[in-house]
Amino acid sequence: MTQPEAAASETAGRIAAEYATEGPAVELGSVVHGGAPHPGASVRMPLAMLNRHGLIAGATGTGKTKTLQLIAEQLSAAGVPVVLADIKGDLSGLLAPGAANDRITARAEQTGDAWAGTGYPVEYLSLGGIGPGVPVRATMTDFGPVLLSKVLDLNPTQESSLGLIFHYADTTGLPLLDLKDLRSVVGWLISDEGKPELKNLGGLSSATAGVILRELIGLEQLGGDVFFGEPEWEPADIMRTAPDGRGVISAVELAAVQDRPALFSTFLMWLLAELFEELPEVGDLDKPKLVFFFDEAHLLFSNASKAFLESVTQTVRLIRSKGVGIFFVTQNPTDVPSPVLGQLGNRVQHALRTFTPEDAKALRKTVSTFPESDDYDLEEMLTSLGTGEAAVTVLTERGAPTPVAWTMLRAPRSLMSPVDPAVMQAAVAASPLQPKYGQPVDRESAYERLAARLAPKAPAPEPAPEPELPNPWPEIPEPEDAPRRRSRRQDQPPEDDVVSTVLGSAAFRSFARSAASALGRELTRGLFGNRRRR
């Protein structure tokens, strides 16, 4: 070994020592220094720190999806459930073992990995049943106004007005289950019959309600109505383990809805918001209860309102204590707002390209977010990384950031291409969730109740005259004290008057107000305006 090689090996060993862990960890790969990987210098990510969230970033074609696949596999093997968005169908191969080839064999040698093809337990999900997978649906009531405003691209004023409409439906007992329910409520409020109630909603004008109604109709015409309805998805069904103890990977197949990015990205955020509202506080664990991957994260933040961004930031900040880790996957770290980026302690940064002045500016910003390094020129490294290589820094088990490591990443052990469609269909048909969610349910809700209000009232039929029947009984003479008895009865109020007196009393009105207030409190909303279940 030459002196430069020995120096490079020593440096690689020193960097790897900062990634040593006592507890279980995700094996990312080996340190690269001096132009070569060092198989004995491992780069690890402690499982206990995965609830500190993370970022996987890099230009197209640099290996982000395979990094996501690598981490998801090891989480599943450690018994941690995973949720990921499969936008292009590339991750459906997690179900099947990968096949060895020369490239995989060479990568295994460079990273010190005893590679063996392995398949993992995968649950394929689809939004509203579009595409292969068990349908995932949400009711309008549970989805809430903040997330729906993001889907409809409403401005802050319109978003506030939509919140008033949801409040009206909540307090008047109009269940919002699907898109036609909400459309019916808005239509009712701007109708001649509903305008008096519209006036009672301060801050909601008929013009704004009309804009919201048009946006809802547009969403329905684009096929967005299939995402809303029942049976609604329950968060516990994405936190399952297989009979062998491995975590189930819930892959949300989105290839069929790529043309509706605002809808599917916001739907994923709804799943996370549901977890946030449902899960109890658990503090720090040896491993997370669930890890959630947001692929194409820039779609989530594009044109997002201030209220939406604040809700995302607060969710990311607080859900850590519930044992959930979140990884954002995107092309450039600047796609993620700074308040959110500041919460991401684990970073896997693939190569960045600098084709434009904006790219060069983004590169400098990215370098400034990494710990300073005496071992690498970070700006040069980020533009020199090869496919399947990344600049890595993670949080140690003590919570301190590790030095940056130029890392050659391991190869995933599952199939690195889409699985055969017949295999996927068979897995969906055999899913234990198919009987629960497979068929939509349409029960009575706001649409039917408002339709009944607007339906013309049929005139009540006149009762037929009763025939006069002869009295079969002989007349009994009236008792002598009958006039005195009639006088006493006339002094007593009729039964209807007694009921009216009770209903009109102050005590009864106070009771009715208390009961109504109690009913109103049964439906409370969380950070995103989504319903908190009881």
- Comparing 521 with 202, the larger pLDDT belongs to 202
| CA–CA separation, 81 and 288 (whole Å) | 9
pLDDT tens column, 21-62: 999 999 999 999 999 999 999 999 999 999 999 999 999 899
Residue 107 lies in a domain: yes
- Hey, which residues does 330 pair with through a beta bridge? 57
Q: Average pLDDT, stretch 377-388? A: 94
Q: Average pLDDT, stretch 303-331? A: 89
Q: Where would I find the beta strands (DSSP E) of 87-130?
A: 122-127
From 227, 247, 269, the end of a domain falls on: 227
Let me know whether 295 and 348 are in one domain. Answer: yes
Of 112-126, 194-208, 318-332, 512-526, which gets the smallest average pLDDT? 512-526
Asked whether 132 and 126 are in contact (CB, 8 A), the reply is: yes
User: Number of structural domains, the chain?
Assistant: 2
Categorize the per-residue pLDDT at 533 as very low, low, confident or very high, splitting at 50, 70 and 90.
Answer: low
pLDDT at 370 over 80: yes
Q: Average pLDDT, stretch 368-389? A: 93
Q: Average pLDDT, stretch 240-258? A: 93
Q: Which domain holds residue 283?
A: 7-137+232-437
Read off the tokens for 21. Answer: 């862990």
pLDDT tens column, 394-447: 999 999 999 999 999 999 999 999 999 999 999 999 999 999 999 999 889 999
Residue 486 lies in a domain: no
Let me know whether 377 and 400 are in one domain. Answer: yes
Please state the three-class secondary structure of 344-384 as a single string: CCEEEECCCCCCCHHHHHHHHHHHHCCCCCCCCCHHHHHHH
From 437, 463, 483, the end of a domain falls on: 437
Categorize the per-residue pLDDT at 109 as very low, low, confident or very high, splitting at 50, 70 and 90.
Answer: very high
Let me know whether 85 and 101 are in one domain. Answer: yes
Please tell me the predicted confidence (pLDDT) of residue 507.
40
Please tell me the predicted confidence (pLDDT) of residue 200.
80
Categorize the per-residue pLDDT at 113 as very low, low, confident or very high, splitting at 50, 70 and 90.
Answer: very high
Let me know whether 404 and 260 are in one domain. Answer: yes
- Hey, which residues does 393 pair with through a beta bridge? 347
Read off the tokens for 230. Answer: 């029942």
Please tell me the predicted confidence (pLDDT) of residue 425.
94
Residues 499, 500, 504, 509: is their CA dihedral positive or negative? positive
Please tell me the predicted confidence (pLDDT) of residue 467.
62
Let me know whether 258 and 395 are in one domain. Answer: yes
Let me know whether 203 and 304 are in one domain. Answer: no
Q: Please state at what angle helix 446-454 crosses helix 179-189, rounded to 10 degrees.
A: 40
Residue 495 lies in a domain: no
Asked whether 287 and 51 are in contact (CB, 8 A), the reply is: no
Read off the tokens for 317. Answer: 């900040």
Residue 184 lies in a domain: yes
Give the global pTM: 0.84
Residue 153 lies in a domain: yes
Share of residues in the chain with pLDDT > 70 (%) = 85
Of 174-188, 194-208, 422-436, which gets the smallest average pLDDT? 194-208
Residue 351 lies in a domain: yes
Asked whether 340 and 53 are in contact (CB, 8 A), the reply is: no
Q: Phi, psi (5° rounding) for residue 406?
A: -70, 115
In the block, residue with structure tokens 């002869």: 470
Chain-wide mean pLDDT for the chain? 86
Categorize the per-residue pLDDT at 258 as very low, low, confident or very high, splitting at 50, 70 and 90.
Answer: confident
Q: Are strands 82-86 and 249-253 parallel, antiparallel or unpaired?
A: parallel
Share of residues in the chain with pLDDT > 90 (%) = 56
pLDDT at 511 over 90: no
pLDDT at 292 over 50: yes
- CA angle centred on 509, ends 508 and 514, rounded to 5°: 95
Let me know whether 286 and 377 are in one domain. Answer: yes
Residue 528 lies in a domain: no
DSSP string, 215-277: HHHHHHHTTGGGGB-BSPP-GGGGS-B-TTSPBPEEEEE-GGGTT-HHHHHHHHHHHHHHHHH
Categorize the per-residue pLDDT at 502 as very low, low, confident or very high, splitting at 50, 70 and 90.
Answer: very low
From 227, 245, 275, the end of a domain falls on: 227
| Domain at 379, CATH number | 3.40.50.300
Let me know whether 118 and 165 are in one domain. Answer: no
> For residue 373, what are the CA distances in angstroms to 351, 368, 402, 406?
17, 11, 10, 11
Let me know whether 51 and 167 are in one domain. Answer: no
| CA–CA separation, 392 and 28 (whole Å) | 9
Please tell me the predicted confidence (pLDDT) of residue 2.
84
R_g over Cα of the chain: 32
Let me know whether 313 and 343 are in one domain. Answer: yes
Top mean pLDDT of 91-100, 126-135, 498-507 is at 91-100
Which residue pairs, CB below 8 angstroms and at least 24 apart, start in 99-103? Answer: 99/415, 103/411
Asked whether 329 and 296 are in contact (CB, 8 A), the reply is: yes
Residue 518 lies in a domain: no
Let me know whether 115 and 158 are in one domain. Answer: no
Please tell me the predicted confidence (pLDDT) of residue 111.
96
Let me know whether 110 and 60 are in one domain. Answer: yes
Q: Average pLDDT, stretch 12-18? A: 96
Kind and range of the H or E run holding 291: strand 290-294
Asked whether 144 and 525 are in contact (CB, 8 A), the reply is: yes
> For residue 264, what are the CA distances in angstroms to 136, 144, 290, 299, 389?
11, 15, 20, 9, 29
